[in-house]
């Protein structure tokens, strides 16, 4: 996982060293903020979650294991805080980027360009928002942060098989969503055949 920490950072923080806590904060704030922003799509809300997450980390610092990276724990707390806040808000504030919609895609455009289009990205954004929280978390951890399956499973507190299953169903949901919104004519998409060697048994 990213954001390597100095070996004694957590230990110093546990000793009440506020400077160590600031260093701890600066070390992990980016991935935590990225997760919060990816889920909430609201920078202000993401900053609130970030602050709450680190305040909580400071309050339970005695329970942190100095021998392990605190990042999985921080990410898990961040995810929980995000979804609890989202459920309180009921509806997410609409980001500015969503205003750029209704860009008519010319269906005569070659399919690969359709896939690359702006509108498909918007459809995907809405599709990600519509995913169940567990699948959304899996997608963010695996495809955004690039965590391995084992790391993502550790953060999401599940096993690797479950993480694979969540990713599988998330992709399936997104793929189904695309033709419904008439953005990708699935049957028309023709990818060039990969240059693969025949594998003999």
Using alpha carbons only, give the angle 54, 46, 98 rounded to the nearest 5 degrees.
170
Residue whose C-alpha is closest to residue 153's, from 145, 143, 144, 164: 164
22 DSSP 8-state letter: H
Among 63, 88, 90, 197, binds another protein (CB under 8 A): 197
**Cα 10 to Cα 86: distance, rounded to the nearest angstrom:** 30
CB 86 within 8 Å of CB 38: no
**Cα 51 to Cα 43: distance, rounded to the nearest angstrom:** 12
Q: Quick count: other Cβ atoms within 10 Å of Cβ 155? A: 25
Radius of gyration of the chain (CA): 20
Tell whether residue 99 is a contact of another protein (CB under 8 A): no
Tell whether residue 150 is a contact of another protein (CB under 8 A): no
Tell whether residue 17 is a contact of another protein (CB under 8 A): no
Q: Which stretch binds another protein (CB under 8 A): 1-9, 76-84, 135-143, 150-158?
A: 135-143
Tell whether residue 167 is a contact of another protein (CB under 8 A): yes
Tell whether residue 25 is a contact of another protein (CB under 8 A): yes
Report residue 45 as tokens: 């809300």
Among 20, 50, 71, 138, binds another protein (CB under 8 A): 50
User: What is the x/- site pattern for another protein, positions 53-92, by CB under 8 A?
Assistant: -xx--xx---------------------------------
Residue 58 Cβ vs another protein, minimum distance, rounded to whole Å: 6
> What are the helix (H) ranges across 60-145?
71-89, 111-115, 118-130, 133-139
Q: Where do contacts with another protein occur on this chain (CB under 8 A)?
A: 22, 25-26, 29-30, 33-34, 37-38, 41, 43, 46-47, 50-52, 54-55, 58-59, 97, 112, 115-116, 120-121, 124-125, 128, 139-140, 143-144, 149, 164, 167-168, 171, 174-175, 178, 184, 186, 189-194, 196-201
């Amino acid at each position: 996982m990213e954001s390597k920490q100095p070996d004694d950072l957590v230990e110093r923080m546990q000793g009440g060293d506020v400077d160590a806590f600031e260093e701890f904060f600066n070390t992990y704030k980016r991935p935590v903020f990225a997760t919060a922003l990816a889920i909430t799509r609201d920078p202000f809300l993401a900053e609130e979650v970030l602050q709450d997450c680190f305040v909580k980390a400071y309050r339970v610092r005695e329970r942190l294991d100095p021998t392990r990276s605190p990042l999985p724990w921080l990410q898990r707390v961040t995810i929980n805080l995000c979804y609890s806040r989202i459920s309180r808000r009921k509806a997410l504030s609409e980001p500015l980027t969503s205003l750029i919609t209704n860009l008519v895609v010319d269906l005569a455009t070659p399919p690969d360009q359709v896939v690359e289009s702006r509108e498909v990205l918007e459809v995907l954004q809405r599709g990600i928002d519509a995913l169940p929280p567990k699948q959304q978390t899996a997608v963010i951890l695996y495809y955004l942060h690039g965590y391995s399956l084992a790391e993502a499973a550790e953060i999401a507190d599940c096993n690797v098989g479950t993480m694979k299953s969540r990713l599988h169903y998330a992709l399936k949901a997104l793929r189904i969503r695309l033709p419904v919104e008439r953005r990708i004519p699935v049957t028309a998409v023709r990818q060039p055949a990969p240059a693969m060697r025949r594998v003999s048994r």
